[in-house]
A and B are shown apart, each in its own frame.
Chain A
């Protein structure tokens, strides 16, 4: 609409420009957030790598049983939750509220299982004597790096679970559109993606042999 039309018809008429990249602004915002969060996690992982390289006595406490087995189960759970999230987004776009809801709650359930396994692992390490700035094995910064990186990821998982629950409820009641489900899906896949870096760098490089 031209500016002259706007002048004639008043300021109530909105001038709409096509969205950048041909996606809704909500989706673009989520992509931009994901990029910034990826850089944040990258900085944390680089910081961890820096401290590990600079330390001559970095602990390597993760035994196959129970630590690595637990991590493998957590990885399967999280990647499966990404698959159910795909189903939820697709069902939401197709307008099938029932199916979208079932997939969303499946994703939420798997997220809760992941968080539960993770917290159980934390308690195991705390029982072994690992704290933020001390542990029985070596460099005192092991605990700080481990708990901060896995803790930030866990925070993302928990907040994602809460967001998915809100969106599942809102979508089933017709208050939220499929676009919200899709945007939440992007976030959830990102959380899975970060875990694929955390596992090899934090756990598999610190195996107990």
Chain B
């Protein structure tokens, strides 16, 4: 494999991931115009966005080719922090209904 041909090969190698990412974006736009509730739409969007992000991280950023220890050091911590941020929702619903104290 020549140096000049290698880049063409890597583009061809990652074209399926590219089209899947475009497909995810197109699917999100399509689903946005269907008759889903906001909460359902939010869940669908988050699932699709996380799938797209996982593909980008593992293949475009080559994390799948790195050592497992790097993946385990980086990703679980991020997921944990982002999951912990979910504790704010009860307060936002309280504000929506203007309740002074949480029950």
Contact = CB atoms under 8 A, between A and B. Distances in A.
A115 interface: no
B77 interface: yes
Q: Which of A23, A42, A200 has the most CB of B within 10 A?
A: A200
Given A39-B78, A99-B4, A207-B32, A197 B49 contact: yes
Contacts of A150: none
A35 B93 contact: no
Interface string B38-65: 1001100110110011001100110000
Chain B interface SS verdict (over half): helix
B6 A91 contact: yes
Nearest to B33: A207
Interface residues of B, number: 52
B70 interface: yes
B102 interface: no
A54 B6 contact: no
A96 B3 contact: yes
Given A42-B82, A79-B25, A193-B57, A204 B45 contact: yes
Nearest to B56: A193
A9 to B, nearest CB: 33
Chain A interface SS verdict (over half): helix
A205 B38 contact: yes
Contacts of A137: none
B25 A75 contact: yes
Interface of A: 21-23, 28, 31-32, 35, 38-39, 42-43, 46, 49-51, 53-56, 64, 68, 72, 75-76, 79-80, 82-83, 85-88, 90-91, 94-96, 99-100, 103, 185-186, 189-190, 192-193, 196-197, 199-201, 204-205, 207
10 contacts: A22-B66, A23-B70, A39-B82, A49-B92, A50-B91, A55-B96, A72-B25, A79-B18, A200-B46, A207-B33
Given A42-B81, A68-B29, A205-B42, 19 more contacts: A22-B66, A23-B66, A32-B74, A35-B74, A55-B96, A76-B25, A83-B14, A86-B10, A90-B10, A91-B6, A95-B3, A99-B7, A100-B7, A185-B61, A189-B60, A193-B57, A196-B21, A196-B25, A196-B53
Interface of B: 3-4, 6-11, 14-15, 18, 21-22, 24-26, 28-29, 32-33, 38, 41-42, 45-46, 48-49, 52-53, 56-57, 60-61, 66-67, 69-70, 73-74, 77-78, 81-82, 85-86, 88-89, 91-93, 95-96
